[in-house]
Amino acid sequence: MSSVALETFHAAPLSRLSEDELMFRDTVRQFASEIIGPLVRKMDEEQHFHPSLLPQLFNLGLMGIEIPTEYEGAGGTFFEAILAVEEISAVDPSVGVMVDVQNTLSINALLRRGTEAQKKQYLPKLATEMVGAYALSEAGSGSDAFALETRAERKGDHYLLNGQKLFITNAKEAGLFIVFATVDRGAGYKGITAFLVEKHFPGFSVGKKEDKLGIRASSTCELIFDDCRVPAANVLGEIGKGYQIAIETLNEGRIGIGAQMLGLAQGAWNHAARYAKERKQFGKPIAEFQGVLFQLAEIATEIEATRLMVYNAARLKDAGLDFVKEAAMAKYFASQVAERAASKAVEIYGGYGFVKDYPVEKLYRDAKIGKIYEGTSNMQLQTIGKLLLTQVK
């Protein structure tokens, strides 16, 4: 395979991007390669997000892409946020999920449901210095997201939150948490309410950091609420309507995870293709053997299909059209392709693919989470199936 062929594949969707989107994508790609790339192995081994990266992500505008300019954000689109997650994840999915949770979950929930006072208070900080986190999951509340036990009790001008959250992405770095708690257990899911909780609020603490298989630089921690005092003004949306915020935000977040897995797959393919051109056996590059060439072609086709699905879902969201089925399909398919692409990359590297001196074993570990978080693959299939059946006459 020639270098021209490699570049042609990576640049295939050019006709679907505007000039501004292309410039944005190329800027993020260069940043990811030059700034994030040299830190990837160190961050993975130390399970620590390098502190030098956060200020640079903020300075480049990548932590507030959709925040309007009047709140000091970049004034961009959801699609641009998806492009950023894709390009960063091709280099390191750990950094990709940091940008993803910030933009597709935390900021989107505030933009959609926040009061003007809440937007003025938090959006400028999220655009310039503050990391956001999304706290829904609990030990007994995973796919059954609304079986949560964290409770909130009104006390005058504030609420007291008690309980624990589990597997919260960005928890170590975050300054603002969107926390879901129930104000009335008897009301079931209609008692769930969303709260804006700052890390310095009394009674709030970040607990154990999980030792994970993949995306190890991304902090995943438990949150502990022990009579955590939250001002009543920090209720996000309406009392008892937290389930609506959770559903609509996670629908958008699934496109973000689709973009993360898309980027991971592309990164794995890039590494495998370069190695196949360099590695010689029996007197010629292994890329010239049909067995390897066909594997590269097959994975490239699946990646392109994934890109079309992810981009389509993001475009539908920006256009204000229904995108729930498309988001579920994109997330489901992207996680499948990412795992296959990373696995094939390890195999093409051979013995070198199994050691940490080379990048593909990390991507293989990182890929597994795509089938699990922000809705497991089974939950995506259930969503897809139900929505498809409603269309059958």
**339 and 281 assigned to the same domain:** yes
User: Does residue 393 form part of some domain?
Assistant: no
Per-residue model confidence (pLDDT) at position 73 = 98
Per-residue model confidence (pLDDT) at position 302 = 98
pLDDT by residue for the chain (393 residues), tens only, comes to: 344 444 444 444 444 799 999 999 999 999 999 999 999 999 999 999 999 999 999 999 999 999 999 999 999 999 999 999 999 999 999 999 999 999 999 999 999 999 999 999 999 999 999 999 999 999 998 888 788 999 999 999 999 999 999 999 999 999 999 999 999 988 989 999 999 999 999 999 999 999 999 999 999 999 999 999 999 999 999 999 999 999 999 999 999 999 999 999 999 999 999 999 999 999 999 999 999 999 999 999 999 999 999 999 999 999 999 999 999 999 999 999 999 999 999 999 999 999 999 999 999 999 999 999 999 999 999 999 999 999 888
Contact 217, 36 (CB under 8 A): no
Those residues whose C-beta lies under 8 Å from the C-beta of residue 298, and which sit 6 or more positions away, are none
Q: Is 149 a catalytic residue?
A: no
User: Does residue 225 form part of some domain?
Assistant: yes
Place of tokens 């257990």: 185
Which of 130, 159, 174 is at the close of a domain?
Answer: 130
Which of 176, 208, 240 is at the close of a domain?
Answer: 240
Q: What is the CATH number of the domain that holds 167?
A: 2.40.110.10
- Enter the pTM of the model: 0.94
CA distance 32 to 39: 10
Per-residue model confidence (pLDDT) at position 1 = 35
Per-residue model confidence (pLDDT) at position 84 = 98
Per-residue model confidence (pLDDT) at position 142 = 83
Q: How far is CA 172 from CA 97, 168, 303, in A?
A: 14, 9, 32
User: Of 107, 202, 189, 199, which Cα lies nearest the Cα of 148?
Assistant: 189
Per-residue model confidence (pLDDT) at position 117 = 98
Place of tokens 């030098």: 52
CA distance 344 to 355: 15
CA distance 338 to 316: 23
CA distance 92 to 96: 6
SS (H, E, C) the chain: CCHHHHHHHHCHHHHHCCHHHHHHHHHHHHHHHHHHHHHHHHHHHHCCCCCCHHHHHHHCCCCCCCCCHHHCCCCCCHHHHHHHHHHHHCCCHHHHHHHHHHHHHHHHHHHHHCCHHHHHHHHHHHHHCCEEEEECCECCECCCCCCCCCEEEEECCEEEEEEEEEEEECCCCEEEEEEEEECCHHHHHHHEEEEEEECCCCCEEEEEECCCCCCCCCCEEEEEEEEEEEEHHHEECCCCCHHHHHHHHHHHHHHHHHHHHHHHHHHHHHHHHHHHHHCEECCEEHHHCHHHHHHHHHHHHHHHHHHHHHHHHHHHHHCCCCCHHHHHHHHHHHHHHHHHHHHHHHHHHHHHHHCCCCCHHHHHHHHHHHHCCCCCHHHHHHHHHHHHHHCCC
**37 and 89 assigned to the same domain:** yes
The tokens describing 369, both together, are 């989470």
Of 173, 302, 361, 374, the catalytic one is 374
**7 and 116 assigned to the same domain:** yes
CA distance 287 to 273: 7
**Count of the separate structural domains present in the chain:** 3
Per-residue model confidence (pLDDT) at position 251 = 95
The tokens describing 41, both together, are 């192995």
Q: How far is CA 84 from CA 26, 53, 64, 121, 294, in A?
A: 10, 15, 11, 25, 30
**357 and 300 assigned to the same domain:** yes
**150 and 258 assigned to the same domain:** no
**250 and 375 assigned to the same domain:** yes
User: Of 132, 161, 158, 134, which Cα lies nearest the Cα of 149?
Assistant: 161
The tokens describing 300, both together, are 């490239």
Per-residue model confidence (pLDDT) at position 108 = 97
Q: Name the residue range of residue 272's domain.
A: 244-388
**207 and 263 assigned to the same domain:** no
**157 and 289 assigned to the same domain:** no
Q: What is the CATH number of the domain that holds 276?
A: 1.20.140.10
Contact 323, 253 (CB under 8 A): no
**228 and 282 assigned to the same domain:** no
CA distance 172 to 374: 19
